[in-house]
Each structure stands twice: as structure tokens, then as C-alpha cells.
Amino acid sequence: MTTVHLLDYVAGNIRSLVNAIEKIGYSVEWVRTPEDIANADKLILPGVGHFGHCLSQLASAGYLPAIRAHIDAGKPFMGICVGQQALFEGSTEDPGVAGLGLIKGELNRFNDSNKAVPHIGWNSANASSKSLYDLRPESKYYYVHSYKFPYVKGQLESQGWTVATGSYGDETFVGAFARGNVLATQFHPEKSGVAGLKVLKSFLTGEGQKTLGKEITGAAPTGGLTRRVIACLDVRANDQGDLVVTKGDQYDVREKGDDRNVRNLGKPVEMAKKYYEQGADEVTFLNITSFRDCPLADLPMLEILRRTSETVFVPLTIGGGIRDTVDTDGTKVSALEIATMYFKSGADKVSIGSDAVLAAEEYYAVGRKLWGNTAIEQISKAYGAQAVVVSVDPKRVYVPKIDATRHNTLRTRFPGPKGEEYCWYACTIKGGRETRDIDVVELAQAVEAMGAGELLLNCIDRDGTNSGFDLELISQVKGAVRIPVIASSGAGNPAHFEEVFRETTTDAALGAGMFHRGEYTVQQVKDHLATIGLEVRKFES
């Protein structure tokens, strides 16, 4: 049997999972009705977003009894992320909603008083020398979640489960568990590179079930969450109309010569694959101009995502143009609909820039009230906070005194042109072309309140300068929010990544130009971080 049934009951990036399954040599059949489950041999329940949303969708469509029957019949079942969480009785995320109840107990939220939540990134799944569907102690897997089942030694094991754990800050959580025909992973195997594909393969071939729980010898378990290194591709049409990866200096992407051509650094799909193979933990595409002379459904970025997700098994983020808009035929299209097209094409996260600034201004203008109508709120509600990144394009503004402006100021180590010792960061829109009267702290706090799950913190002053990240900016924003922050702009060599990870609490760091120009590879950056003792994911082939 080379078919696996996939339950597509809820919005989300299902395409990556299909691509991963096909890469392993299996084909996917969709479960469209509860009756289809009866015909399934192997069943996978993926899941993103909110526990309550997923479980109530499953319940209202009548799937829960069919899933229970499948499991009770001893047929292979795999739950991924919220599909794993569904096996518990409930979650404090949505108290009134019942899970499948295969396991007693409920999930609760990570404590965000001492770390960023959601927990996003590559972490271990350590099965303590027991065989668990080809999980390796030295491998890292991609997690993205705010709720977890806390690990209590012996609790699940006493019920016959083999358990793998991860640790985040001072909390140890259940990363995966299996018993008999059931395998469940909190992490996303389809986004966990080669290590994740091995887990999926072990489930699909049935090998994992055969060897489950056997003692194995192997490398000692490694530490927790790794430092994430992200490769970013700014994409736009050049003057000939081809989509190219480009890179600006302080957002100016045109060559310095007389002809001022758009800098062309390569082809998006090929470059994304190259960075994946070098060990990039994520790949981000920013569509820095809109391609709005064609119908939305034909956006070239959709094709780029589709093709990239066939070969790149790490998370993909897409940004640019995510806002309510009007299609070429006059039809109104919401930001949520645009995001949905991106998710269906292989994106795991969408990144919102200009629209987030305007929404934040509105949020303060109406006295910090939320009506649920912003792009951030709508996409976050449908797909979960972890799927919504806000990309910030700030510019430094120098002031002579701390109280010279109403904005959140900091004392800088790099005084301004007139010796000013203070500065604040003004948010911009439209790729830095328009500066607004809102600072990064205000923006960050507003979008966190709206349900953004992560910030991509660029810096126009540093972009393309190779002079290192703006540590003052990053520390200011990290101090203002609980959600993870990706440091961006200015990386010129591996030591800059070391500096940003050592001197700030940033959750991830992103580079563009230094990779595109071939000055350094992603692997060189990660090797450097490993040499100085920082935890990184090693690329597996």
C-alpha cells in the first residue's frame, strides 16, 4: 500500500506535507468525509492554528468518531502539531472544547515571563535511548506552538507510551509520543528537513511501529532550542519583467551606474534551494514590489512558493502586498484571502509590512481597541499567531534630549551628525518611502496585541551595509514584547551573527546580501556559531 490518507479539515499549509509524503514515494488521498476514513489504511491528521478551531471543525464535520474508530481498529495513525494535541482531553487555549481524549490531561501555555512565546524554531525530541520512529538525539525538529503538554516523568510511559521530550527555557514538554499504531509529534516533520522526512518515512513504511520502544545506542542528547539562521530573498520584477532576487543598500535596489538597473542576484527558487542545502533554518521571500498588473490568482510569487516547497523542507515565509485590495477585474479581495492563497501554495507564514503600520496607527487612534477587522487579527484567528509575522522597516531619528519627542527614545552609543545622544526609530511604509509618526515600540506592542506571532525587525540604516545588526534597536524591541523577534539588516560576516546572539536576546537572525553575493554560506555562519558554543541545527543529508 503506497497511499496515505490526509485529513484536510482546516486551513493551513498542507502542501508541504503533501510534498514531503510524495518525496518519500507515497501518494496522498484526501479524506473529504468521515466515511472516507473507514477506507483509509494510514491516516494523518495535520493541524495548525487554534486547538478549539481545529477540534470544533472536526467535531462539527463528524470526524471525531471516525478517527477514534480508525485508531481502535489498530490502523496506523499520525497526528502532527494540533493533530497531536487533539489526542488529549483538552487545552487551556480553548477551555470548553473537548479533544479526542485518548490521553488524560490537558495542554497549557508556555510561561512567557522569561522567554518568547510562541516557541518557534528547531528543538530536540529526545526519546532517552528508546527507538521512536527514527527520531535521533542529535537531530533537531521544527516546532511552532504556544501550548504544550508538560512532561512529567513516567506519566505517559506508565500508560505504555514511548515519549520524546524537548526543553524550552525551564520547561520540559512532550515533543512526540507513540504507542502501538499511534504516532504523534508536536513538531512538524514536513518542515524539519531531512531529519523530519526520516520520521515520516518511518511512519509510512511501518518500520517505526516495528521497532518502537527498543533500546538504542547513539549520540548523547543535545540541548534545547537552536539559534535560528534565516536566509532572506527580496524578489521583484526587473526592468525586463523577470522575477529576480535583488538586494538593496538601505532599500535602494538599483545599480549605482548610469543605467540604474535593478540588481539581479539570481533566481528565487534555485537560490532558496541552495540556502536550504547550506542549512538555512528558514527561508523568507519578500515581494518588494507588487505584481498587480495580473490577476491575484496568477501572482508569480504563488508559483515561486509552489516550486520552492517541492524541494525545501524548512519553513517558508512570504511577505509583500498582504493587505485588503482590489483584483484586476474589480473584485475586492481581503488580506485573509491573499494569505490563504499563499498558504495553499506552500507558505508557512505570511509577513505584513505597510498594512501593519497603518493598523497600529488606527489602534492607538481609537484608544487601543481591537475590532477584529485588521489583516493581522483575521489571519491570526484563522491560521494561528505563529503564521503571522510583522515585518518592520524602521529608520533611526536622532534627538538631542530624551524628552525631545513623545516617542520611545534610547541613549545611543553612536551619536548623530550633530552629536545627538538619543534616538528613536520611526516606522516606515511602502518599502521605506514614507515615514510615519509611530515608533517601533508602539508598532511592536500594537501588533502583538492584534495577534502577530513574530517580528521581522529590519533596519533601513543598516540594510546592505555589512556593518552588523543594529543591536540597540533589537534590544529596545525585545524589551517591549513577548513574541519572538528576528534580527535583520546589516549582516556582513559570521561574527555579526555571533554578536547579535551574544549581545541581545534575539530569537533568530537573518542575512541576505552576504549570502547572495557568495561572500559566506549559511553553513559557515552556523559552523562559526557552533564553534563558539551556541546551539545550532546541523544540516543533515
Q: Catalytic annotation on 234? A: yes
Contact pick of 16, 351, 380, 506 for ligand 1PR (by CB under 6 A): 351
Q: C-alpha distances in angstroms, 92 versus 88, 102, 110, 114, 378?
A: 11, 17, 11, 20, 21
Residue 478 contacts residue 505 (beta carbons within 8 Å)? yes
Distance (Å, rounded) from C-alpha 410 to C-alpha 263? Answer: 35
Q: Which is nearer to ligand 1PR, 21 or 301 (CB)?
A: 301
Grouping H, G, I as helix, E, B as strand and the rest as coil, residue 141 is strand
Smallest gap from Cβ 399 to ligand 1PR, in A, equals 24
Contact pick of 76, 221, 320, 346 for ligand 1PR (by CB under 6 A): 320
Binding-site residue ranges for L-glutamine: 81
Distance (Å, rounded) from C-alpha 396 to C-alpha 478? Answer: 17
Contact pick of 181, 192, 345, 391 for ligand 1PR (by CB under 6 A): 391
Q: Which is nearer to ligand 1PR, 7 or 352 (CB)?
A: 352
Distance (Å, rounded) from C-alpha 282 to C-alpha 288? Answer: 19
Handedness of CA 523, 527, 528, 529 (dihedral sign): positive
354 touches ligand 1PR (CB under 6 A): yes
Handedness of CA 287, 23, 184, 94 (dihedral sign): positive
Q: Which is nearer to ligand 1PR, 3 or 325 (CB)?
A: 325
Binding-site residue ranges: 81, 321, 458
353 touches ligand 1PR (CB under 6 A): yes
Contact pick of 386, 458, 476, 506 for ligand 1PR (by CB under 6 A): 458
Phi, psi of 107 (to 5 degrees): -80, 155
Contact pick of 90, 279, 346, 513 for ligand 1PR (by CB under 6 A): 513
**HEC sequence for 219-253:** CCCCCCCCCEEEEEEEEEECCCCCEEEECCECCEC
Smallest gap from Cβ 287 to ligand 1PR, in A, equals 7
Smallest gap from Cβ 249 to ligand 1PR, in A, equals 8
| DSSP code of residue 46 | -
Distance (Å, rounded) from C-alpha 477 to C-alpha 67? Answer: 44
Distance (Å, rounded) from C-alpha 145 to C-alpha 186? Answer: 8
Smallest gap from Cβ 115 to ligand 1PR, in A, equals 25
Binding marks (x or -) toward ligand 1PR, 416..455, rule CB under 6 A? ---------------x------------------------
Distance (Å, rounded) from C-alpha 362 to C-alpha 499? Answer: 36
Q: Which is nearer to ligand 1PR, 104 or 517 (CB)?
A: 517
- Count, residues near ligand 1PR per rule CB under 6 A: 30
Smallest gap from Cβ 208 to ligand 1PR, in A, equals 39
Smallest gap from Cβ 275 to ligand 1PR, in A, equals 12
494 touches ligand 1PR (CB under 6 A): no
Residue 476 contacts residue 499 (beta carbons within 8 Å)? no
The closest alpha carbon to 120, from 46, 19, 228, 261, belongs to 228
What's the distance, CA 4 to chain centroid? 26
Q: Catalytic annotation on 459? A: no
Contact pick of 464, 468, 484, 494 for ligand 1PR (by CB under 6 A): 464
Distance (Å, rounded) from C-alpha 320 to C-alpha 537? Answer: 28
Q: Which is nearer to ligand 1PR, 175 or 248 (CB)?
A: 248
- Residue 118 preceded by cis peptide, ω within 30: yes
Residue 28 contacts residue 3 (beta carbons within 8 Å)? yes
Smallest gap from Cβ 99 to ligand 1PR, in A, equals 36
63-72 and 51-60 helices, crossing angle to 10°: 90
Interacting positions 161-220 with ligand 1PR (CB under 6 A): none
521 touches ligand 1PR (CB under 6 A): no
Q: Catalytic annotation on 188? A: yes
SS3 content of the chain, % helix, strand, coil (to 5): 30, 25, 45
Smallest gap from Cβ 496 to ligand 1PR, in A, equals 9
321 touches ligand 1PR (CB under 6 A): yes
Only segment of 324-332, 340-348, 417-425, 511-519 that touches ligand 1PR (CB under 6 A): 511-519
CB atoms within 10 A of CB 290: 14
The closest alpha carbon to 512, from 244, 246, 243, belongs to 246
Binding marks (x or -) toward ligand 1PR, 224..263, rule CB under 6 A? --------x-x------------xx--x-x----------
Chain residues binding ligand 1PR by CB under 6 A are 232, 234, 247-248, 251, 253, 286, 288, 319-322, 351-355, 391, 393, 431, 458, 463-464, 488-491, 511-513
Please give the positions annotated as active site: 81, 188, 190, 234, 393
